[in-house]
Amino acid sequence: MKFETGRWDDLQCHFQMNPDPSDENPARFRIARFQTALLRWYDDNRRDLPWRKTRDPYRIWVSEIMLQQTRVAAVLGHYRLFLKRFPNVRALAAASENSVLAAWSGLGYYRRARMMRECAQHIVAEHRCRFPRSSKSFRPYPESAATPPPPSPASLSPNQLQFWTATSNEYCSA
């Protein structure tokens, strides 16, 4: 099934109004059909965003923090510039608060940038520049830098075991 308009409303309305009467458990059937259609809709309509092309937990984490209460369009330019200035967690941790705030300028909610820098300092000092594997490990970090507590960058990254088993400090290297 293809929705010509690519609109979420069309997809949602279709499944609310068209249950399969032959199924013994119509709710389960509707959920399965909806999941399949939603994934197909996503494949057809997803946006090409840079944080979807990486397995680096630092880059995913930066995108998650930037996207909190901020439009994707506003984040796109800032994301690239921020990563150019602070390419890894060590660079962010070593940066002055003023330079982080300057790079954050235009995204608003500057507390997020301050807390993200503090969290980066904690990751460098306590975890040798490696991101924790679970959201529980984020609990001691500043609240806004670790939100949303679940999931952690590990669970947001594709093929997470590939980079979590790495023995180098690749996310800290200069």
93 shares a domain with 21: no
25 shares a domain with 79: no
Q: How many structural domains does the chain have?
A: 2
What Rg, from alpha-carbon coordinates, does the chain have? 20
Range of the domain at 129: 50-164
Global confidence as pTM = 0.65
92 shares a domain with 139: yes
Q: Are 123 and 130 in contact (CB under 8 A)?
A: yes
143 shares a domain with 60: yes
Asked, for residue 3, whether it belongs to a domain, the answer is: no
Question: Is 97 tagged catalytic?
Answer: no
Per-position pLDDT tens, the chain of length 174:
454 555 555 555 555 555 555 656 677 778 888 899 999 998 999 999 999 999 899 999 999 999 988 899 999 999 999 999 999 999 999 999 999 999 999 998 999 999 999 999 989 998 888 887 766 665 545 554 544 444 445 544 444 433 332 323 333 433
What's the N-to-C CA distance of the chain in angstroms? 48
Dihedrals phi, psi of 130, to nearest 5 degrees = -100, 140
| Annotated active-site residue in 4, 24, 64, 126 | 64
Is the four-CA dihedral 96, 100, 101, 102 of positive or negative sign? positive
